[in-house]
Amino acid sequence: MSLTVALTEALRASDGFTVWTPDGRDGVVEEVWLGPDAEPSALAVGRPDGSRGLLLAEDVGAVDPVGGRVAVRPGARILELGGPHPEPAEPSATPAAAPQRERSLLASIAVLYAMLLVIVLAVTGLSFGVPWLVAGRPF
């Protein structure tokens, strides 16, 4: 069943609209889902009980842009929209690299002091070593 151009355009702009079924208010449009042809294919609906539902575009009876309402056609239903179900990862043939550990603050300070010690020893060695080499005698 194809949608009319007016209904398609109205569905595109229906975020935040109230969803009404023949039984009364049933939620709010949270987002418009687009199909492969970039046309609205369904509406994700936040329901009053905190769950989420999916209203297919072909089950929309009318859209009132002025009143901010989406009417579900009689006999249609809002499908239950569950959360994502992650699939367990299959083990890979190559082992994963070990996670990198961050250096602790104390280890970083120890490395800093060790580098400072090396610099001080090098400067001190040059200060006494160069004159000794030039003069050819110890101090």
pLDDT digits (tens, 9 = 90+) for 38-58: 899 999 999 888 889 999 999
Answer whether CATH 3.90.50.10 is correct for domain 5-81.
Answer: yes
Q: Shortest CA distance to 54 belongs to which of 96, 90, 82?
A: 82
pLDDT of residue 23: 85
**For residue 111, pLDDT beyond 90:** yes
pLDDT band at 132 (very low <50, low <70, confident <90, very high): confident
pLDDT of residue 118: 97
Q: Full-prediction pTM beyond 0.75?
A: no
pLDDT band at 136 (very low <50, low <70, confident <90, very high): confident
CB burial of 39-60 (b: ≥16 within 10 Å; e: otherwise) equals ebbbbbbbbeeeebbbbbbebb
pLDDT digits (tens, 9 = 90+) for 47-103: 888 889 999 999 999 999 999 999 999 988 888 887 666 776 666 666 666 566 677
Query: What is the C-alpha separation between 105 and 127, in angstroms, rounded?
Result: 33
Q: What is the mean pLDDT of the chain?
A: 85
Query: What is the C-alpha separation between 64 and 81, in angstroms, rounded?
Result: 24
